[in-house]
Structures are given as structure tokens and as C-alpha cells.
Amino acid sequence: TQKIIIDTDPGQDDAVAILLALAAPEELDVLGIVAVAGNVPLPLTERNARIVCELAGRTDVPVYAGCDAPISRPLITAEHVHGTTGLDGPPMEEPTMPLQDKHGVDYIIDTLREEPEGTVTLCPLGPLTNIATAFQRAPDVVGRVKEIVLMGGAYFEVGNITPAAEFNIYVDPEAADVVFKSGVAITVVPLDLTHQALTSPERIRPFREMGTKVGDTIAAWTDFFERFDKEKYGSEGAPLHDPCVIAYLIDRSLMSGRHINVEIETSSELTLGMTVADWWRVTDRPANATFLKDIDTDRFFALLADRIGKL
């Protein structure tokens, strides 16, 4: 079993990712969930993380609130995609499980110090503010991380928040820069891959037919989440970005990519937050990340439905 900390800004796709992780107890031990400001402000992302744990019947999973703003920039949010609550779609009740008192960054630092070295995987599904802040505040924990598997960035598909940048990296490029320079083994799940993980009526039907609250909720979230991509891009469905990170941890044969150099643009106004990926290895900059690019979409959706059906 891989011990993981999920760092997240739910977000309907973050919510599905959390549910998938909680539905895979043989492969994944979710030590805790840390919320970060991103899709919506922190009070909503930590609330939404608790809603998702309650939906899964897993009020034993501790939920922490991390940073409420990027390291050195004002927060940019994505209500235009996720709605004003971040989890718009089906009506959701306010959560009753408590938020942990400890700050999310302290939780990350303490957990990495307490657990045996090289045993904890970090799964960032939002801006990298919490992870970078932990690394800056406690450099001793950097070498204790097993690996980071994150959703963020884009190269061939380029941006979804600016022409050059993907949302999670764009919101806090300084944080992303710290993480990509940290020396930790990083696997990147970029838009190039997640734009192949598109919902469709056929792929969501199994969730509608589960006859469970979780299945109904995912179907209703998808209906909401899709409307943005349908209107904006005329696509049939919406990319399930964040669940790809969890699916990869469950079955690495689902995705493939290259071990290459990836640098973060932090100064150009035009291309701020761009993940400059040396896919063709045209520089001799050392490889610092595995940049995934392709996914077996049918097997991904089959895994998702199979596991979620067990919740």
C-alpha cells in the first residue's frame, strides 16, 4: 500500500479523485487531505473536502486547511468552471465532520518527519502553494518524500487559463518552481493527458446506474462540470483531470510519458506559469520530471467505475 497525502482544491474533478483514492484501500492509504486555495477560496475548498469524505462515509480521514493564497501573488479562482461553491451541481449538505486544528503545511511537515523516510507520496491536485511552503519552511522534509504525482501543466495542448499556462501552475508559479527544483521524483499529469480523459454519456452511464448516492452525485457533478467545456470548446464532455493522478497510482500501466526536464516560467507576463517541457531533449538540462502524455482512456474509465462502484 502506498501512503499518500492528497493536496487539493475541490473542484468536482478533485472530488472524484478523492473518492477514487478512498475506493482503493488495497493500493492507497490516504493519510490525510490538505486543502489549498485554488478553484475557489480556502474556506470553500476545505469545506468541500469534508463534504467528499462524508459522502464516502470516511469521516476518519483528517482534513486540514493549508494556505489561503499563493506565495507572492493574489489568488486567481475558477468559479467559471466549478461554480460559486466549487462543487456546484447537486445540492450538498454542509459537512459536520470537523476541520483539523493544525495548519495543513504543518501537517505535511510533521507527517513527513514522523513516517519512515521515503514512504509518503504527495498528490497535489491544485496550486502547489502548500507543498512549496512546506519545503521552504522545513528543507529537511524534502529528501523524505517518496515521490510527487501532480496534476498540472501542459505542453502540446498549452493553456486553459492563459494561452500558455495551465490553471494549477499559473495560480502559483513560484510554488511550482520550488517544487520542480526540489530534486524530489516528480510525475506530471498535464492537460495533454487529461484532455484524453473526457466524459461522455456512455462513460458516465455506469455511475448513473450504480444506484448509490456516490454514483448519482458524480453523475450530477459531471453534468455541471461539462457545461463549461461544451459551451467554450464545443466538446462532447469534460476532462476528468485530477482523477488521472489517483488512477496512475493505482495502475501505472494506464499512462505513459518521458523523463525530461521541465522548467516553470515565473517572470514573463505573456507566458507566466508555462511548463516548459523539453520533450525532444534539445537542451542538456537534467531531467527532473516524468511528463506523462498518453492514457488508455477506456481502461481509465473502467477502473474509475469499478472502484467507485464499491464505495
Contact residues for Ca ion, defined by CB under 5 A: 9, 11, 14, 125-126, 242
Q: What is the nearest approach in angstroms of ligand BDR to the Cβ of residue 57?
A: 23
* 241 near ligand BDR, rule: CB under 6 A: yes
Query: Of 61, 33, 67, 65, which Cα lies nearest the Cα of 135?
Result: 67
Q: Which of 80, 103, 195, 241 is catalytic?
A: 241
| Contact between 14 and ligand BDR per CB under 6 A | yes
Q: Report the nearest approach of Ca ion to the CB of residue 242 (Å).
A: 5
Is residue 146 classed as helix, strand or coil in its secondary structure?
strand
Residue 9 to residue 43: CA distance in whole angstroms? 10
160 touches which of ligand BDR, Ca ion, none (CB within 5 to 8 A by kind)?
Answer: ligand BDR
Burial of 62 (0-12, 13-18, 19+ CB in 10 A): middle
* φ, ψ dihedrals at 220, nearest 5°: -70, -40
Which of Ca ion, ligand BDR, none sits in contact with 78, Cβ below 5 to 8 A by type? ligand BDR
Residue 155: what residue type? Y
Half-sphere exposure of 133 (CA within 13 A, CB side): 21
The burial of 110, by beta-carbon neighbours within 10 Å (0-12 exposed, 13-18 middle, 19 or more buried), is given as middle
What is the C-alpha separation between 12 and 240, in angstroms, rounded?
Answer: 9
Interface with ligand BDR by CB under 6 A: which range of 8-16, 41-49, 132-140, 198-206?
8-16
Nearer of residues 109 and 292 to ligand BDR, judged by Cβ: 292
By CB under 6 A, name the one of 61, 125, 184, 218 that touches ligand BDR: 125
> Applying CB under 6 A, which of residues 28, 81, 240, 255 lies at the interface with ligand BDR?
81
Q: Is the peptide bond prior to 86 cis by the omega test (within 30 degrees of 0)?
A: no
Give, as one character, the DSSP assignment of residue 111.
Answer: H
Q: Classify 297 as helix, strand or coil.
A: helix
Shortest reach from residue 160's CB to ligand BDR, in Å: 5
Helix (H, G, I), strand (E, B), or coil: what is residue 11?
coil
Between 170 and 210, name the residue whose CB sits nearer to Ca ion.
170
Whether residue 241 lies in the annotated active site: yes
Partner whose footprint covers residue 81, from Ca ion, ligand BDR, none (CB < 5 to 8 Å by kind): ligand BDR
Cβ proximity to ligand BDR: between 138 and 224 the closer is: 224
Cβ neighbours of residue 101 closer than 8 Å, sequence gap 6 or more:
none
Stretch that binds ligand BDR, among 166-174, 204-212, 266-274, 299-307 (CB under 6 A): 166-174
C-beta of 56 vs 78, nearer to ligand BDR: 78
Residue 150 interacting with ligand BDR (CB under 6 A)? no
For 198, the grid coordinates are: 473526457
Q: Which of 242, 263, 265, 278 binds ligand BDR (CB under 6 A)?
A: 242
Angle at 230 between CA 171 and CA 195, to 5 degrees: 55
From the list 9-17, 108-116, 219-227, 285-293, the region that binds ligand BDR by CB under 6 A is 9-17
Q: Cβ distance 20 to 247 under 8 Å? A: yes
Q: Is position 48 an interface residue for ligand BDR (rule: CB under 6 A)?
A: no
Site for ligand BDR, rule CB under 6 A? 11, 13-14, 39, 78, 81, 125-126, 151, 160, 166-168, 241-242
Catalytic residues: 241
